[in-house]
Amino acid sequence: MRRLVHIALCSVMLSLGIGCMVAADPAGEPERDGEVAAEVAGEELVGESDEAVVRGIPAPCGTTSCGSGTFCCNSSCGICAPLGGSCTQQYCPPLE
């Protein structure tokens, strides 16, 4: 049951452009629920910076960094949003 919850959560996260990673399986290889969810949802896997945010490692987002529980939803403006949230998709020109 727990695995199904992880797969469902990862499907939602992947549709939002967020990565998903879980603990290693008994064979010692990292198990990526995101790969399973990607196959189910038909989504492509996301980049390493998205996975870093999911694992709690700050990831760059424009001139800021997104911390644990957030993701970069607008890099041109440096806006981080909570996981599952969203933000405006406006363009912010670089500061001079």
| Mean pLDDT in residue range 73-84 | 90
Strand ranges inside 1-96, DSSP E? 59-61, 64-66, 70-74, 79-82
What is residue 53's DSSP assignment? H
34 confidence band (pLDDT: 50, 70, 90): very low
Tell me the β-bridge partners of 70: 82
- In this predicted model, which residue has the larger pLDDT, 2 or 39? 2
Mean pLDDT value across residues 21-48: 42
Q: Per-residue pLDDT averaged across 51-63, rounded?
A: 71
pLDDT-wise least confident of 9-18, 38-47, 86-95 = 38-47
CA-CA-CA-CA torsion sign (22, 53, 86, 89):
negative
The pLDDT of residue 91: 92
